[in-house]
Structure 1
Amino acid sequence: MIAFENKPEIGKGIYTTPDVAKILGISYDKANRWIKTYWDGKLSKDFQEHYSWKVDGSRAISFHTLIELFVMGQFSDAGVKPNDVIIAHKELSNAYNSRFPFALREVIDGMRMDPGRKKIFWEKDGAVANLNGSKQLNLHFIKLFLIKLDFDHSNMANKFWPMGKDHSIVIDPERKFGHPILNGRNIYPEIIHGHFKAGDSIQFISYIFEISEKEVKDAIKYCEAA
């Protein structure tokens, strides 16, 4: 059993349920259900502490829980049952001695497929956790995780690119409390989008903020998708 104290800390990100829904592109109800039913309801029993805490009447989570919910979403889209994901999470928590196994690069790198392409599993030093999906999965799908994640020296996810690394929007828990920003800058995409909605042209916004037109378009695209 891995005990831990879960509380908001600078550098670990603070994401309310509406934030989670917006960043991951899912409904508020789904984000709320995943946090309350699965992470707080089922996984927290193994750690003697909830994954979330209350902020202004809403639940909030850390960056690493956000990443785990991102992984949950990918499996959900592929037809993997939530309870199977939770079972695998528990096995991996023990195998890797981590309360955030889905945020570990070793776990992602350890993903494999069976010949029939009906199961996805992790293998590491003899420890195996299986997920049974209703749709076919392949290694290309799994490696898409790496397109949206960066990892630190301990191989824990430390940056999330919600639109992929070929776009400018990044989520870094050590900058602006983990709020989505333009990479290399401290500009919120909502600020850019606000100017665009007010009628400013992409060229004008690019000029006044001294950013590229692509960065402007990325900010607009992110906000409108959310």
Structure 2
Amino acid sequence: MFGYRSEGVEHPGLWRPELDFFDEKLLGFHDLLEIRFVHAFRKHGVSLQAIRSASRQARELFDQQYPFTCKRFQTDGRSIFATVFDETGDEAILDLAKRQYAFRQVIAPSLYEGIDYAGEGEAQRWYPVKRSKRIVLDPNRNFGKPVLSSTGVDTASIYHAFLAEGQDAKRVSVIFEIPVAAVDAAVKFEHRMAA
């Protein structure tokens, strides 16, 4: 994310951090989503060199600082492909490293699961728990901290109250005026994050 040095060679990060204007190394909402995509590509066997090349090519092609967060990428485990419009205006699959069109038989992993997109395909919010919209990371709500979708209360506050109240979910639900199921969802999410 922030680059590294290996055998005397300086390797820059894959993109410029969203909160680059602070002295500390901080991550913004789009940084988290880009990391999520890099992790998914690595999990599918794509090399870091291929990811670096695809990121650079995609930034140039799509003129976006965070190209992986736009809804157009797929992988076959070796290369990263982007859905683009060819010269005729038809949708096509482009191998970003080779800048060549490819066949449509590529694997489309669930890279986009849980991400809501704006009209032009830019990521707006992320629901990190599979098949659930109870917890959301939204840069427009509570500074992008994980919150309960229904109330906006951050999951860490609920979890700390849960611990302080002797792990009594009913008591915490009364304090925050939220359902016990919401307390359970926040506690489960925080446990998952700690693991």
What TM-score, normalized by structure 2, do the two folds share? 0.75
* Contact 1:170–1:183, Cα closer than 8 Å, also in 2: yes
* Contact 2:135–2:148, Cα closer than 8 Å, also in 1: yes
> Does 2:125 align with 1:159?
yes
Count of matched residue pairs: 173
Partner of residue 212, structure 1: 179
Unaligned 5+ runs, structure 1: 1-33, 132-136
**C-alpha distance after superposition, 1:185-214 (max 9, x if no partner):** 221111111122221412222233222222
Report matched runs for 1:1-226 at 5 Å: 34-37=1-4, 41-43=12-14, 51-53=18-20, 55=22, 58-105=24-71, 107-108=72-73, 111=74, 113=76, 120-126=80-86, 128-130=94-96, 138-139=107-108, 142=109, 144-198=110-164, 199-226=166-193
SS of 2:50's partner is helix
How many Å separate the matches in 2 of 1:201 and 1:42?
44
* Contact 1:149–1:160, Cα closer than 8 Å, also in 2: yes
Unaligned 5+ runs, structure 2: 6-10, 87-92, 98-105
Distance of aligned partners of 1:88 and 1:119 in 2 relative to their CA distance in 1, 3 Å threshold? closer
* Contact 1:68–1:103, Cα closer than 8 Å, also in 2: yes
Q: Say what the alpha-carbon RMSD is for the aligned residues.
A: 2.8
Greater RCO (CA < 8 Å, at least 6 residues apart) = 1
Runs of 4+ aligned structure 1 residues displaced above 6 Å come to none
> Share of identical aligned residues, percent?
21
* Contact 1:167–1:218, Cα closer than 8 Å, also in 2: no
Distance of aligned partners of 1:43 and 1:138 in 2 relative to their CA distance in 1, 3 Å threshold? closer
What TM-score, normalized by structure 1, do the two folds share? 0.66
Distance of aligned partners of 1:112 and 1:191 in 2 relative to their CA distance in 1, 3 Å threshold? closer
How many Å separate the matches in 2 of 1:216 and 1:50?
33
Over alpha carbons, which structure has the higher Rg? Answer: 2
SS of 2:190's partner is helix
**CA deviation after TM superposition for structure 1 residue 219, in Å:** 0.8
